[in-house]
Amino acid sequence: MEEKETVFVVSDSVGETADLVVKAVATQFNGGFVELRKNAFVENYEDIEDILLMAKQVPSLIAYTIVIPKLKSYLDRRAKEENLAAIDLLSPLMDAFSRTFNKSPKYQPKLMRQLDESYFRKIEAIEFAVKYDDGRDPRGLLHADIVLVGVSRTSKTPLSMYLAHKRYKVANVPLVPEVAPPDELYQISRNKCVGLIISPDKLNSIRKERLKNLGLTSQANYASFERILEELDYADKIMRRLGCPVINVSDKAIEETADYILNTLKK
């Protein structure tokens, strides 16, 4: 049985970069003819020797992304001694960067996989938005970057999640005439509270569609004009008491409203 041509994909990290480059090249040669053997987290000379031993058994070449200088030099030397082709996928571009921009690389593996502070802030903000959604725990209002208030179906939750992806901790509180707002809402700065309002016609349409999706009759009190006007009037009184900026979300996309909120709060 004829041995299949093999490319040993070698990396001192996950190996995604080398894997993608090799696959891109292989497609130019009807890629299915070649077998890829991925070797990730290669961190010592013994790992390299194991790869060389396997590579000698089949028609092969080695494609690698190794940035640790000693490890790279060792692989280059030993591959040459074993008469094996070892292709460095990173150094030509890194050398070009150094020459052109007069900067030195860090020569540190796994940098692309390091989770930076910004990533952790986003995850924390998303978890915060979930935990303090829909007035679930009013204690979160005191720790939020932004607090959204409004009647049901004014996009409070989607806005909270969208802003969380921008690394803002957002809590939201539904305003319902039968339920007094939590005391914490009056303890926060009005500079981080935003009221969301909507036209009665738009809210009526949204609520009817919501009831329809739930399999309920559109004649329910939730979607009645009388009830909607009562809720909007109540919300207006609360927002006036808070002294917070108010945004009409009737004809705005989530992204547009979010940008408006951030610009308003910055002012």
Q: Is 156 annotated as belonging to a binding site?
A: yes
Q: Which DSSP symbol is given to 179? A: B
Determine the distance from the C-alpha atom of residue 265 to the mean position of all C-alpha atoms in its chain, rounded to a whole number: 23
Q: Is 150 annotated as belonging to a binding site?
A: yes
Single-letter amino acid, residue 126: I
Q: 30, 86 in Cβ contact below 8 A? A: no
Q: Is 13 annotated as belonging to a binding site?
A: no
Q: Is 27 annotated as belonging to a binding site?
A: no
Q: Is 154 annotated as belonging to a binding site?
A: yes
Residue with tokens 């921008």: 166
DSSP string, 71-88: HHHHHHHHHHHTT--EEE
Q: Is 58 annotated as belonging to a binding site?
A: no
Q: Is 34 annotated as belonging to a binding site?
A: no
Distance CA 164, CA 116 (A): 17
Cα of first residue to Cα of last residue in the chain, in angstroms, is 74
Q: Give every CB contact of residue 265 below 8 A, 6+ residues apart in sequence.
A: 146, 191, 192, 194, 245
Strand partners, 147: 171, 193
Tokens of 13: 């990290």
Q: Is 98 annotated as belonging to a binding site?
A: no
> What are the Cα distances from residue 183, in Å, to 144, 157, 179, 187?
15, 21, 12, 7
Q: Tell me the binding residues for ADP.
A: 150-157
Q: Tell me the binding residues.
A: 150-157
